[in-house]
Each structure stands twice: as structure tokens, then as C-alpha cells.
Chain A
Amino acid sequence: MNTIIAAAIGALASTAVLVSGVNAAQGEHKPVSNEKLYSYASK
């Protein structure tokens, strides 16, 4: 039973770490170009 529990929890945790880690690492700031004025929707 312990093995099943550990495997299930491990799978959930590793999926979360892998997917979130890869995605978070891809995030980058893209400034609005100089010519364009900023809006409330801009980052």
C-alpha cells in the first residue's frame, strides 16, 4: 500500500514540478515598443 501511495503522490508532485518549472522558465518580459503607448492592459 505504501508503494502505491508513494508512487501516486510522487507522480503528482513530479508532474507539477516538471510542468510548472518548464513553463515558468519560458516566461519572459516583452516590453511594449517605444513607438507604442502603454495601456492598462500592458505588462
Chain B
Amino acid sequence: MRVRRPGPDLAVALALAVLVLGPLLVGGGYWLVGDMVFVPHQPWKSAWLGLDGSLPRAVPMDALVSLATHVVPGSVVQRLLLVGGLLAGGLGVGRLVGDLRWYARAAAITLFCWNPWVLERLLIGQWAILLGYLLLPWVALAARRLRADPRDWGPAAVVLVLSAVCSPSSGAMAVGVLAVLTLGRDRRTWWRVGALAVGANLTWAVPALTATTVRVSTDGVFAGFAARAESAAGAAASVFSLGGIWKTSIVPEERTSAVLVLLSCLLSVAACAGLVRSGPERRRWLLLGAAAVVLALLPVVPGGSGLLEDLAARVPGLALLRDSHRFLAPLGLVLAVGSAHAVRAVRDRIRPGVGALWSAVVLLVVAPLLLLPSLAWGALGDLPRSSYPQAWEDVADLVGPDDTTVVLPWEGSYRGYAWNHRRAVLDPAPRLLPGTVLVDDRVLLADRVVPAEDPRVVAIAQALADPEPAGALRAQGVRWVLLERGMGEPAVPDGRIAYDAGGLLLVDLVVDGPVSSVAVGNDRSRQVLVSIGHTCAFLLLLAGAAWILRSGSNGHHSHESHGE
């Protein structure tokens, strides 16, 4: 089968990217929402590589973003990542169904890039997980090559490392997709996939497994982050149509309509029907989709969250499954591929007398947009751009790279700044200020609180509750206290006011006594292990890229193995 030129795919993906990200592209500033925090210049810290023993939340993505902001401003990095991700995802899924006509490929691209999962992850600010999702078509392409020739491991190595770089759950998801689409009776392929999966994910797994200052909590997290019914149609209908995120405050209004959710389910059914005609790969696609739905619904079924909690208490890695709705992502890929085949099936039935079936083809292509208009133009204005007040850079200039800063209010790590249109966003201070920045890392949900995971944060909470908090904080190695005004009136420890403007108050505690030296994460052997993990993943990436270049990766392999 021949691969068609990517021109139409690029045009569709570009149009969707502009339609989704338009407001971000036409002006300056940032989209700061939920976990999506970019800063003008992100200073380098060992924590970005997980070398300090802290919880590797965004290792090594924070390291790459930090390096990138040394070259271009963070606002440019944000735009490049989001636009590049959507283009890569669109082109990838188009290539995955490259033997179909352009309008069938357009249906796949539209459904893949424009669905509730994408909107909800964008609005919750999980841009790195979104990038991992947009890499999935390339994982599927790599799986095809690996299945056609078990020695052709280069593309799989590259996409697995890139996925692992995005986030731990993206890395795990990519391994799952590769395994389902590749593995068969050939034991050698099992070994190869296993080795690639381990090597690629060492970059976050070693820091996570050797973290000394972390206590991962599983208490109530599975129920707290379980998928939700967005409408009267129920949780299963929401999940089957790629929605149902736990964070109901960001669910777009149209998803609360049972009619819309059921119409979206109809699109999913059409895509599944198309999958049945997708050739010998169909069983693998259907298995992948079913696994994604089961994972997302597991905490929803009676007793499911309790069971997961019990298991996670015994198997630490299972905590990764909290917010298992994110693992619904492969269903987006499966439905996109199915949608393209559904278009082909309808096209094959068009004959004189039933020319109106062309309208069904058009509907399949544009249905994702009609069913979810809220994704257009920055979530219909729900994602306004923001710029940091000058005060943030002024404060960053005062704090030294060896200092420790505590950020107030000590009430979770999400803020609603007036300058950010009072959107809930992860506190940018740890990324903007040099040195160690401690924020209350408890996760406050509507009906529960996920406890702090960093023991040092617990110690700071106790110091703040001390009758003489300034001294207690100094004993914990803290020099600065940064109060972010406008969100409650927390008590500020005594000290010299070093800065007070633009909504920020910076207090220097050192004037009333010396700051104790607190050794954190200085375990040499651990740092060596973490460095080895990063090096292995990086070498695997280089080796995979070299393999692709050597074998002349121009796509001519990508459709050799629709059969098995």
C-alpha cells in the first residue's frame, strides 16, 4: 500500500491547531491554568532531574523546559510545545491511516485532536500528558514496524523515550500501546519491548524509586480522582465518548447535556463499527480501546476505588493509576483510526441514487467539532492570556540559588491571582524563583484533602504553627518567606521586609538569626543512580534516532504490516 502525501493532513492539523490555540498565537503572555505553568526564565535546579531526592513530578520535562527558557522566553516555549504537539499528533494519526483517502484521514485527525479528553486535559493544564497523548500515533506506527520486523527497534525506542520524558503516565501509556499493538507469540519481541520499555522509562523511574523525601499517599485518591458522569447519561457514556474527568469545575457546558453525550457516543459507535472493517489489526485496536475504558472506569464501579487503594498500599507503582481517566487516552487513538475506516466504509457504499451519503462522510469529519464547540479559540475564551507582574521577576532577582523560600498562603499549591483572571493555577514560584521553594503540597479537593507527600513540607507546616515561626523556619533552613497577597490573610513570620509591591511580600528571616544548614538529598550513590538512569534513556534515544537515520525512515515501512 502506498502512503499519500502529507499535505492535506498538515493542512487539517494546522487548521485545528490554529482553531484551538488561536488566542495564544495572536498575542503575548501565557496560558496559565491548572498544572500548566510556564515562566519567562526557569532557573536550573538539580530537582529538575530528580537529583535532590524530592518527588519527581515533572522529571525530566522541567529540565528540558528550563534549558529551553535559557534560549527563548517561556512564552515561546509554551507555544512551540502546544502547536508542535497538535501538528505531530495530527500528522501521526494521518500517517497511521495513510492508505485511506484524504477525507478519511481528516476524520481521524479531527477526532484525535478535537475531543473531550483533549479539552479537559488542556483545561486542567496537563500539557505534558497531552503531549504524551499526541505521541501515541507514532507509538502505533513504531509498533507496526516492530511487528513487521522485530529487529526494527529504532522508532519504538525514540517514541518510548519521548513519551517517558513527557510524564511517567505517558511513558507507561506508550508502553501499553506498544505492547498491545506489537506483542504476539514471538518471544524475542517480548524481550525487545520489555528492554525498550525499561530503558526508556529509567529517566523518571529511578528518581521515583530512589526518592528519599517522599511519602506517596494513596488514601482516598482513587475515589477522589475517579471519572465522573458529566450528564444524566452516566459515567460510562461520558467515558465512552472520551469525557468524564474528575474535575467537574472545568467540564464544558455542552458535555452536561445528555443528548450531546449520547450523540458523541453515537460517533464512538460509528468509529467502532469502522474498526471492525480495519483489517487484521482490528482485534488489537479493539483490545486497546477496551483496556482504556476498563482502566478509566475501574475506580467508578462499586468497590473499585477501594480495591485499587488496597492494592496500591501493597504495590507502590499502582499509585500511578490515580486519576485513571488519563489512561483513557488510547481510546482517542482507537476511535480516530475507527472513524477513518468508518468514512471509507460509507464512501464504498456511495452509488448513483445514494449520493446523499456524502453528507454522512462530511458529518463524520466535522462531528467532533459540532459536538464540542468549546474547544475552539482558547476554550471559547475560557483561556485568556496572562502576563506576570514585574514583581515576580524582582523577587526572583533577590533570592539566591542556595536559598530556601517558603510560599504563603500555606493552603495547597493552587492560586487564583487577579492578574491571571482568577483562574486556579499551580503556584509558579517553584519554577520562577531560584533555590529551593517550598509550597504546601497537599492536594485540596472539593470533598477531601490528599496529604502532603514531602516530609520537609510537613516540617514547614509545623514550623509555621510554632509560637515563634521565624525561628522555627530558620531551623528548617528557610531564609525567605514569600506572601502572595489577595488570597486570604495568613500570618507572616517576623523579619526584614525585602520587597513589598505588585501583590508580593518578601520577608528576609536572616536578620534575626542565622539560618540552619539542612542537608537534603545529598546522597551521592542516589545521585549516581539517577544520573545513570537519565544517561541510559538519553543513549537509547540517540541510538534509536541513529537507527532510524541509518535505515532511511521515510515512511515506506509504515504500512508493511497491516497483517500479522
Contact = CB atoms under 8 A, between A and B. Distances in A.
Interface string B409-443: 10110111000011110000000000000000001
Interface stretch (B84-92, B178-186, B365-373): B365-373
A17 B49 CA distance: 47
Given A5-B357, A38-B424, A15 B446 contact: no
Nearest to B414: A38
Given A16-B371, A31-B422, A41-B446, A24 B380 contact: yes
Given A24-B253, A39-B424, A40-B444, A9 B359 contact: yes
B257 A23 contact: yes
B353 interface: yes
Given A16-B260, A38-B412, A39-B412, A24 B354 contact: no
Interface residues of B, number: 46
A2 B382 CA distance: 41
Contact of A20 (B356, B357, B371, B411): B371
Nearest to A9: B359
A13 B253 CA distance: 18
Interface string A7-43: 0011011011101110110110101101101111111
Contacts of A5: 354, 356-357, 359-360
Nearest to B250: A43
A37 B254 contact: no
A28 B486 CA distance: 22
B254 A19 contact: yes
A30 B449 CA distance: 23
Given A5-B357, A9-B363, A16-B371, A40 B253 contact: no
Given A15-B263, A27-B252, A42-B416, A20 B372 contact: yes
Contact of A26 (B253, B357, B367, B423): B253
Contacts of B247: 40-41
Contacts of B372: 20
Given A23-B253, A24-B374, A27-B252, A2 B356 contact: yes
B359 A39 contact: no
A34 B353 contact: no
Interface string B343-364: 0000000000111110110010
B380 A38 contact: no
B488 interface: yes
Contacts of A6: 356, 359
B520 interface: no
Given A10-B359, A39-B444, A27 B253 contact: yes
A27 B379 CA distance: 10
B487 interface: yes
Interface string B233-275: 0000000000000011110111011011001001000000000
B445 interface: yes
B424 A43 contact: yes
Interface in B462-489: 486-488
Nearest to B249: A43
B409 A37 contact: yes
Contacts of A19: 254, 257, 259-260, 263
Nearest to B384: A29
A6 B486 CA distance: 56
A37 B263 contact: no
Given A37-B488, A40-B414, A20 B359 contact: no
Nearest to A17: B370
A19 B370 CA distance: 10
Contacts of A37: 409, 411-412, 444, 487-488
A27 B374 contact: yes
B359 A21 contact: no
Given A16-B367, A37-B411, A9 B356 contact: yes
12 contacts: A6-B356, A13-B363, A19-B257, A20-B254, A24-B253, A24-B380, A37-B487, A38-B424, A39-B412, A39-B444, A40-B414, A40-B445
Given A2-B354, A6-B356, A38-B415, 18 more contacts: A2-B353, A3-B356, A10-B359, A12-B266, A12-B363, A13-B363, A16-B263, A19-B259, A20-B257, A20-B371, A23-B253, A23-B260, A24-B253, A37-B444, A40-B412, A40-B414, A41-B446, A43-B424
Identify the 8 closest CB pairs spanning chains A and B, nearest first.
Answer: A39-B444, A27-B253, A31-B422, A42-B424, A23-B254, A5-B356, A43-B249, A2-B356
